[in-house]
Amino acid sequence: MNHSIKRISVRAYGVAFFLIFMLGASAAQANDIENGKKLYRQCAGCHQIGPGASNSFGPQLNGVMQRGAAKVESFDYSSAFNEAMAPDVKWNSSSLSAFLEAPLTNIPGTAMAFPGVKSEDERTSIIAYLAAIDVDGNLTASTDEGAGKADSMAAEAQPRMLAADVEVPTHGVLHIGRAALAEEVAAWDIDVRPDGLGLPKGAGSAIAGVEIYDTQCAACHGDFGDGTGRWPVLAGGQDTLTDERPEKTIGSYWPYLSTVFDYVRRAMPFGNARSLSDDDVYSVTAYLMYLNDLVEEDFVLNSENFAEIRLPNEENFIADTRSKEPHFNGSVEPCMSDCLPGVATISQRARVLDVTPDEDI
Amino acid sequence: MTDINNDPKSTKALNSQLVKDDVKRAVSRRSAIKSGLALMSGGAIAASTASVANAVTPDPLITEIQDWNRYLGEGVDARPYGSPSQFESEAVRRDVPWLTADAKSSVNFTPLHKLEGVITPNGLCFERHHGGIAEIDPADHRLMINGLVDTPLIFTMEDLKRFPRENKVYFLECAANSGMEWRGAQLNGCQFTHGMVHNVMYTGVPLKYLLAEAGVKTAGKWVLPEGGDASHMTRSIPLDKCLDDCLVATHMNGEALRPEQGYPMRLVVPGWEGNMWIKWLRRIEIGDKPWHQREETSKYTDLLEDGLARRFTWVMDVKSVITNPSPQAPIDHGRGQTVLSGLAWSGHGKVSRVDVSIDGGRNWKPARLDGPSWSRSVHRFYYDFNWDGSELLLQSRAVDEFGNVQPTKNALRAQRGVNSIYHNNSIQTWHIKPDGSAENVEVS
């Protein structure tokens, strides 16, 4: 009896030792994968990953380290990429790292309009994450997501503060919250108004905007702001607002240039918001003005000349005048009988268009 | 589908097949509608609803002991957060893939035809994101108030819980709801034509309390709420509206907001376009003028026929739709007594009346409003009638307490043209065919 218990204990110790050894060895790697997963978000706008991932702007990347480069048959790779990768090239950590540092420099002509990841540590993490995803999109290695939970449980074990010891602020009516620091307000308050209020110091030229636009914007918005697929068209469309199919662009419709600057700075590029410098935003804004035939290519936009600029359609925006329409405010008593002459006839059917999605789940 | 009268396995087999394979049923029904075939008469309709005028053989669902009558079901530990019945798999949000370029900046639709009452279940509230669903740990969330205030402030979630809070039921409608229907009948189903609306009970802090804490300066006239997601959504709202009835909500229908509805906190702007109800709310700025952000210039402005465009068209006008029957919810029982049901709402206040027409707007009868009638909340209406099996052109028309009347499509087009995109609150027509199926049509 004793003997067998001892044997079990020894075995248990052995297993425990092995587990500790394994956890120690893989902790750094697990960290990399976890970081890589976060960093991958900048890639996810074009490259889907995970179970059920499909191609979008770029090929899906499930098992990309195992399957080899340019190997998603359903994806139309650029000829430059196919040439660089043919016939059976597989990525390894160093070749992929080199490519990701500056895709357009490494394979000129690739459709991967992405400026690259400059930090080697970040590239290592992204590649560790890619390597941990198998061809079915499943994560094959463990990450240390649980670590944070252990920390918060430790924090809960701290003795609770006495209510009377809490400092009560003096502001306001109910004295709740704390004063915001100037740095905090500056970090979040980035909105810009038509009169220029909120503009950061800086400048950028239309010419400098070309490269930024081509690498950061053109994949969705087209080479000349003409839009790809159903992504927004940014340029052209002048004098179409009364047409059967108006084209509403910055040049043809938007009332204020500040909206362009503000929106690019807060939300673009799609999937990597807040990544452009203020000068880059000035440059892209200047280039968008150029694409809309509003300025010449040597134009420089800066915090001084910004508020003087007017967009062509500003005057054509009016207040909400709906309440003057006849069906408002009791001006019409709804008819109850014999409201229209004759028998109703069908003038249009949805089935003719047949654009309703099928009810497949 | 099998004809029940010739099937030796009788109703039990057919019924269990129909119920188990919900999806297949939907598809086959749909293809029947699509190909213009009659939805089977007599026996087939009866089979799908288990109602027969005269039974020839006893119903085995009654005479035989069913599995669920005999064997034990799952215990209380099986479903810690419950889900709808497996037989309700058609009651889901759906999207229209061709509408937008990317699912992360897109919209899906509430299955109005599958719902009853006035409250929308949290998991079925339509979604509209501009940068995907932000997943925010409430411990990491901050709400800032800055701009023209005495003391710029930072609140945590714990801080927010200490303010007096209120419970209010409001509808939220996307300004582009029915936007695809301006030029004509396009989508077959009220889920797609009208499904960008939902109605839930919010628990939240009146915005005026938060603003009072920071102290709004007298020059302050406008408010800019901002989201913490990757689109950093912003809209300009007049200060008066914020002081009147806006809430910073943390809960919907009793539970914490769903991530796709702005967890951990969102702005509630009663009666006004859904785009203004900023989700993942992280900042509120006070200013003396509007900011003219992207969503109030490039988008959410209403282009008129003469090339002028209305801006700051905030209120969602009086509107209604018949949810049953409708293209996704045909009449399956044949002629006889039936329930017509629908929803009505107005961003101005309460709905005072809904009228129903079965002849394409020639004659109208008042519908029966049932359930709670709250200002800027959805109202449920019914019209119970005996269907003689003939073709119908169904319409509903809502009137609100201020005498605003839901207009016909043509009346709205006469005022605005067809390129407004937003604020289409016109009367919807469903064509009910002799086989009970329904189609989205326009009438003249």
| Domains: count for chain B | 3
pLDDT > 60? residue B230: yes
Give whole-number Cα distances, B264 to B18, B122, B173, B250, B278, in Å. 41, 14, 21, 6, 12
pLDDT at B51: 59
Q: What are the residues facing B205 on neighbouring strands?
A: B248
- CA–CA distance, A356 with B185 (Å, rounded to integer): 11
**B10 and B120 inside one domain:** no
**B330 and B406 inside one domain:** yes
Q: Which two tokens stand for residue A40?
A: 């991958």
**B121 and B246 inside one domain:** yes
Look at residue B108 and give its three-state secondary structure: strand
Closest CA to B46 of B336, B391, B365, B416: B336
| Residue B100 domain flag | no
Q: How confident is the model at residue A29 (pLDDT cuts 50, 70, 90)?
A: confident
* Last residue of one domain, picked from the residues B251, B283, B310: B310
pLDDT > 60? residue B303: yes
- CA–CA distance, B49 with B40 (Å, rounded to integer): 13
**B261 and B353 inside one domain:** no
**B330 and B280 inside one domain:** no
Q: Are A346 and B441 an interchain contact pair (Cβ–Cβ within 8 Å)?
A: yes
pLDDT > 70? residue A19: no
As a whole number, mean pLDDT of residues B240-246 equals 98
pLDDT > 90? residue A334: yes
pLDDT at A156: 59
How would you class A190 by CB atoms within 10 Å of its CB: exposed for 0-12, middle for 13-18, buried for 19 or more? Answer: buried
**B295 and B393 inside one domain:** no
How would you class A228 by CB atoms within 10 Å of its CB: exposed for 0-12, middle for 13-18, buried for 19 or more? Answer: middle
Average predicted confidence (pLDDT) for chain B: 90
pLDDT at A142: 64
| Residue B395 domain flag | yes
**Residues A249/A291, Cβ–Cβ less than 8 Å:** no
Give backbone dihedrals phi and psi of A106, rounded to 5 degrees, phi first.
Answer: -75, -40
What is the H or E stretch that residue B345 is in? strand B336-345
What would the pLDDT profile of B200-228 be if each residue is shown by its tens digit? 999 999 999 999 999 999 999 999 999 99
| Residue B153 domain flag | yes
pLDDT at B103: 83
pLDDT at A135: 86
**Residues B147/B285, Cβ–Cβ less than 8 Å:** yes
- CA–CA distance, A134 with A132 (Å, rounded to integer): 6
Q: Are B150 and A171 an interchain contact pair (Cβ–Cβ within 8 Å)?
A: yes
pLDDT > 60? residue A62: yes
Closest CA to B181 of B423, B437, B438: B423
- Which domain CATH number covers B410? 2.60.40.650
Domains and CATH numbers, chain A: 25-131 (1.10.760.10), 203-316 (1.10.760.10)
Q: Are A273 and B232 an interchain contact pair (Cβ–Cβ within 8 Å)?
A: yes
| Residue B107 domain flag | no
Helix axes B22-34, B10-20, angle to 10 degrees: 90
| Residue B137 domain flag | yes
Closest CA to A143 of A21, A23, A31, A18: A31
- CA–CA distance, B256 with A336 (Å, rounded to integer): 45
As a whole number, mean pLDDT of residues B331-353 equals 97
Query: Percent of chain B having pLDDT more than 70?
Result: 88
| Residue B102 domain flag | no
**B147 and B276 inside one domain:** yes
Report ipTM (2 d.p.).
Answer: 0.86
- Which domain CATH number covers B254? 3.90.420.10
Higher pLDDT, B72 or A33: B72
* Last residue of one domain, picked from the residues B288, B310, B332: B310
pLDDT > 90? residue A59: no
| Residue B146 domain flag | yes
- CA–CA distance, A122 with A125 (Å, rounded to integer): 5
**Cis status of the peptide bond prior to B264, with omega within 30 of 0:** yes
A263 — contact with chain B (CB < 8 Å)? Answer: yes
B198 — contact with chain A (CB < 8 Å)? Answer: no
- CA–CA distance, A193 with B289 (Å, rounded to integer): 9
- CA–CA distance, B150 with A171 (Å, rounded to integer): 9
* Last residue of one domain, picked from the residues B310, B331, B359: B310
pLDDT > 50? residue B46: no
Q: What is the dihedral of CA A324, A328, A331, A332, to 10 degrees?
A: 130
Q: What is the dihedral of CA B298, B303, B307, B310, to 10 degrees?
A: -90
pLDDT > 50? residue B37: no
In terms of residue numbers, what domain contains B63? 4-70
Look at residue B45 and give its three-state secondary structure: helix
Q: Could you say which residues from 235 to 294 on chain B have a Cβ atom under 8 Å away from some Cβ of chain A? A: 282-283, 285, 287, 289, 291-294
B161 — contact with chain A (CB < 8 Å)? Answer: no
pLDDT > 50? residue B22: no
pLDDT > 50? residue B128: yes
Q: How many CB atoms neighbour CB A38 within 10 A? A: 12
Q: Could you say which residues from 201 to 220 on chain A have a Cβ atom under 8 Å away from some Cβ of chain B? A: 220
**B119 and B261 inside one domain:** yes
As a whole number, mean pLDDT of residues B148-154 equals 98
**B54 and B147 inside one domain:** no
A262 — contact with chain B (CB < 8 Å)? Answer: yes
Query: Percent of chain A having pLDDT more than 70?
Result: 86
Give chain B positions within 8 Å (CB) of A250: 298
Chain B: residue whose CA lies nearest to A340: B362
- CA–CA distance, A345 with B441 (Å, rounded to integer): 10
What would the pLDDT profile of A251-308 be if each residue is shown by its tens digit? 999 999 999 999 999 999 999 999 999 999 999 999 999 999 999 999 999 999 999 9
**B147 and B261 inside one domain:** yes
B97 — contact with chain A (CB < 8 Å)? Answer: yes
As a whole number, mean pLDDT of residues A61-87 equals 80
**B126 and B252 inside one domain:** yes
Q: Are A359 and B90 an interchain contact pair (Cβ–Cβ within 8 Å)?
A: yes
Q: Which two tokens stand for residue A301?
A: 């936009």
Chains A, B: CB contacts within 8 A come to: 278
Give chain B positions within 8 Å (CB) of A263: 293-294, 298
Chain B: residue whose CA lies nearest to A318: B310
As a whole number, mean pLDDT of residues A44-61 equals 85
As a whole number, mean pLDDT of residues B340-363 equals 98
pLDDT at B251: 98
As a whole number, mean pLDDT of residues B83-91 equals 96
**B141 and B252 inside one domain:** yes
B157 — contact with chain A (CB < 8 Å)? Answer: no
pLDDT > 80? residue B426: yes
Question: Which position has the token pair 């919810």?
Answer: B329
Residue type, A335: C
Give whole-number Cα distances, B353 to B27, B113, B199, B343, B344, in Å. 36, 21, 19, 11, 9
| Residue B86 domain flag | no
Higher pLDDT, A304 or A121: A304
- CA–CA distance, A90 with B399 (Å, rounded to integer): 67
